[in-house]
Amino acid sequence: MIFHLAFSIQNLKLKVVVKFNEQQLTEFNRLVARYPQGKQKSALLPVLHLAQESFGGWLSNETMDYVAELLQLNPIEVYEVATFYSMYNLKPVGKYTFEVCQTGPCMLRGSNDIIAYIKEKLNIKAGETTADGLFTLKTVECLGACGYAPMMQLGKNYREHLTKEKVDAIIAECQQHATANN
């Protein structure tokens, strides 16, 4: 795991302290340097991506507070952005997140059937993660690949023209990948 957690006991509760390591901090500085002095707020989206990648694939309140502190923003400004975009996870997710588009063109091409099939196959509802922690299913709005409907995002890649057979193959591929990387 490439994130640093330090724990302190306060009033019998565990407090999680989130902090970028040196490499992540270098990347943070590179992202902020893309924008003019005093306009560090413009780096919020890529910095949230960096934070999500760095701290276990999701954005806890502690992580969003840390981002706010780094960018000298009010925490609410970070919460507003993080809760607006479906690409940010606000609770822990599985190793592989299926973000299936459910907007009109994908729906007309059968995304509802694909979503139902994934739910049945993985035995989860949208927004849930499998008990083994491998898969999360999310339904999202248009991902800009309507010509390849029905489609989903998996990590940084799009999986297009989905069929039940393709879903089976993708699940098997993820399981193999997880086994190989254990």
- Binding track, positions 130-149, relative to ligand FES; x by CB under 6 A: ------------xxxxx--x
Minimum CB separation of residue 147 from ligand FES in Å reads 8
Query: Do residues 53 and 24 lie in contact, with contact meaning Cβ atoms separated by under 8 Å?
Result: no
Residue 154 touches ligand FES, criterion: CB under 6 A: no
The token pair that represents 20 in the structure block: 């970028």
From residue 163, alpha-carbon distances to 46, 61, 99, 168 in Å are 32, 37, 15, 9
By the rule CB under 6 A, 68 interacts with ligand FES: no
**Cβ 107 to ligand FES, closest distance in Å?**
7
Work out how close the CB of 144 gets to ligand FES at its nearest, in angstroms, rounded to a whole number. 6
What does the alpha-carbon distance between residue 89 and residue 71 come to, in Å, rounded to a whole number?
A: 20
Scan for tokens 């591929």, then name that residue.
173
Range in contact with ligand FES (rule: CB under 6 A) among 10-18, 66-74, 85-93, 100-108: 100-108
Nearer of residues 24 and 111 to ligand FES, judged by Cβ: 111
DSSP letter at 42 equals: G
- Select from 22-30, 61-69, 98-106, 114-122 the region that touches ligand FES (CB under 6 A): 98-106
C-beta of residue 43 within 8 angstroms of C-beta of residue 31? yes
Would you give the DSSP letter of residue 141?
Answer: S
- Closest by Cα among 130, 148, 151 to 140: 151
81 binds ligand FES per the rule CB under 6 A: no
C-alpha distances in angstroms, 102 versus 12, 57, 106, 138, 170? 44, 23, 6, 10, 19
Give whichever of 34 and 161 is closer to ligand FES, judged by the CB atom.
161
Interaction between residue 151 and ligand FES (CB under 6 A): yes
Among residues 18, 44, 70, 101, the one that binds ligand FES under rule CB under 6 A: 101
| Binding-site size, ligand FES (CB under 6 A) | 12
Binding residues (CB under 6 A) for ligand FES: these are 101, 103-106, 142-146, 149, 151
